[in-house]
Structure 1
């Protein structure tokens, strides 16, 4: 078995960067995080492969400054698998690709049945990758050799996979489609911060009343602060179900909270003062959250459209199968041809003139790519012009 060495010094990075710069062709890049173990989404291992240079494994925390690596590969194409997952962590290290080739997205556009890295590598090259360490805690030090081998194989064959996929895209006439998709991923802005993220607490629907929600909010915020301070995934400190159980039990004392069997987790007992203070803050605050947030820009669920906007319902029910049929003809998943959200939005509020050009303008304003507009706008316009109305209920029937 190959003995892999992790580069963990600025001097080692500089030497490796020189060797990578002397390589040829695109560079394969991958990132390993510690999701589910750590609070942050920082990279705990960066893997790089380039023909003529080989595989390099970098340990970001002790290295710090990755400028030499950026200088070495900042003018060539980067090959990634599911780039949208890795680019934020790379950006945090100030590693930014000038262009990308996404092997997972390519497989989707080609309609391949499975798009995980192991499946794509096997279909493209006939090579079977072991994926048993994908959910490992990559903040572990030292990293076991078996993990390092797994990480190296994630990039060692990726450029060869890229070449097979590029040829397949060209033969299918989808090269330009892929280029536009890659660029959208590369330049995508981070999602805005969610309003009231504490409302994502699993089981929060059981909590009734604004006071109960205030207590849940204070517990969530206190856990979040501790998780960030310790760089530990919040759920590993105290699970969501434990926070919700504490709200529902309404303990009258710290001792009652400590005796609550559902209130468990790594920090449930050792941080008891913290949790009791959060409960007390929630019980005494005058800043009570609304039971529900305003709808904002969110559309109602499609099942409610028939009553709330029957014309939009007819448009969506006609356009959706038409777009799905088109996706089948071009051999790709419907969501890659056009996301359901974009179709719902243009169906809910279509342009005044329902023409392919006007539909195209509406889709463009919503963020659709030009290749998507070219394919789908005529189909959607046709569906909107001739929507199929759902038959009314017969006398005596209920909806």
Structure 2
């Protein structure tokens, strides 16, 4: 049996041919995106795979095509788009001007159904009995030309999705979870991107070892210099100079560019070729007239639950009373607790409950946080009852010691 050969459309003319082919197809489309995460700075799509009945497999190379995808989007926009983990692929597709109106997410559906394993390979095997080789999931998809074995892997990401979708849709219907799924899919589509962090440089791995504002100013300057270089080259920052190497440069406190070059722990492909850049950053940090505070700016993040007993004992008791109820509900619904209700939503309503804290008020509070109607319907009453139970427990004196 001859090996299958895969063709990638890599020109505007190829995109036009693919668009015509997909327009002639019928039914929903299965779609996936391959990026070069960990290799490139950007999250752009380096390969888009589409499968549709009557059209077959379409492989597109967006960087090589180099034009907008509006004609393709117009053909597909009103159809259901089937993804596996849509939240990962939607940003890259939106960069191309492709934005669906309706989706089905096979990973999310599998979670709602309580599947033990929700990776694509496991889901395809569970639903269709087909085993997929998943050997190239961490490949550098900006590589050109793309090897045929990589394209085979990419093809398998979409060729079975329509059949998987049909099986999972039937299972959702049988479990009474179709409404849950539709609301979750819509939430994925309409979710706003997370706002950029105010001080992203504070996520440097190992930064906790740096002491003093001046050291932090140097770390910030080095991070910024690396970020600018990484963006200009479209290379993942850690591939230029790893986090640990930037922190090592701060801790070494070199007195000269030569001493920086001699710092053994200052490693990375650009650590010596861009030595002038790093030394300039160190000097800028040392002379920064507005060094950063030793602690990051306050956010609306809650304290970790382990600190609640000291910081907010009433909230701690509420959380410890309510959380087992939500976990029990999740078990009864055969789904992970985090899919029944986002853990941060539960923590926030326990930390700062509405007044009064009846089911209606809790439902409003959960809705304001972003919980879906089905989640609220399942959990608001249990949370309200948990608050009553925690209040009673707080007011009940402990049994006297015999």
Q: Would you call these one fold, judging by a TM-score over 0.5?
A: yes
Q: For 2:72 and 2:4, how far apart are their aligned partners in 1? A: 24
- 2:312 matched residue in structure 1: 309
**Structure-to-structure mapping, 1:44-123, within 5 angstroms:** 44-63=46-65, 64-123=67-126
> 2:244 maps to which residue?
241
Per-residue deviation, 1:392: 9.9
Matched pairs, number: 395
SS in 1 for 2:48: strand
Structure 2: gaps (5+ residues): none
For the 8 Å contact 2:202–2:296, the answer to whether it is kept is no
- Shift of residue 294 of structure 1? 3.4
Deviation string, structure 1 residues 226-255 (Cα, Å, up to 9, x no partner): 000000000000000000000000000111
Indicate conservation of the 8 Å contact 1:218/1:281, yes or no. Answer: yes
Shift in alpha-carbon separation, 1:218–1:181, aligned structure 2, 3 A: same
Q: Which residue of 2 aligns with 1:137?
A: 140
- Compared CA separation, residues 54 and 352, structure 1 to 2 (3 A): same
* Equivalent residue in structure 1 for 2:174, among 171, 175, 180: 171
What CA distance in whole angstroms lies between the structure 2 residues aligned with 1:389 and 1:49? 58
- Note if contact 1:13-1:68 (Cα within 8 Å) is conserved in structure 2: no
In 2, Cα distance between the equivalents of 1:86 and 1:390? 50
Q: Tell me the residue number matched to 1:294.
A: 297
- Map of 1:264 onto structure 2: 267
User: How far off is 1:296 after superposition?
Assistant: 2.2
Which 4+ residue blocks in structure 1 deviate beyond 3 angstroms? 388-395
Q: Aligned to 1:147, which of 147, 150, 156?
A: 150
State the partner residue of 1:7. 9
**Which residue of 179, 183, 199 maps to 1:180?**
183
> Which residue does 2:42 correspond to in 1?
40
Residue aligned with 2:314, SS: helix
Verify: 1:352 aligned to 2:344, yes or no.
no
Q: Which runs of 5+ in 1 are unaligned?
A: none
Conserved 8 A contact 2:353-2:362: yes
**Contact 1:7–1:59 (CA under 8 A) maintained in structure 2:** yes
8 Å CA contact retained: 1:78, 1:101: yes
8 Å contact kept, 1:48–1:57:
yes
Check whether the contact 2:226–2:241 (CA below 8 A) recurs between aligned residues: yes
* Residues 79 and 103 in structure 1, CA contact (< 8 A), matched pair in contact too: yes
SS in 2 for 1:342: helix
The Cα of 1:295 is off from its aligned counterpart by: 2.6
> 1:201 maps to what in 2?
204
Rounded to whole Å, the distance in 2 between the matches of 1:90 and 1:353 is 44
Contact 1:314 1:390 survives alignment (8 Å): no
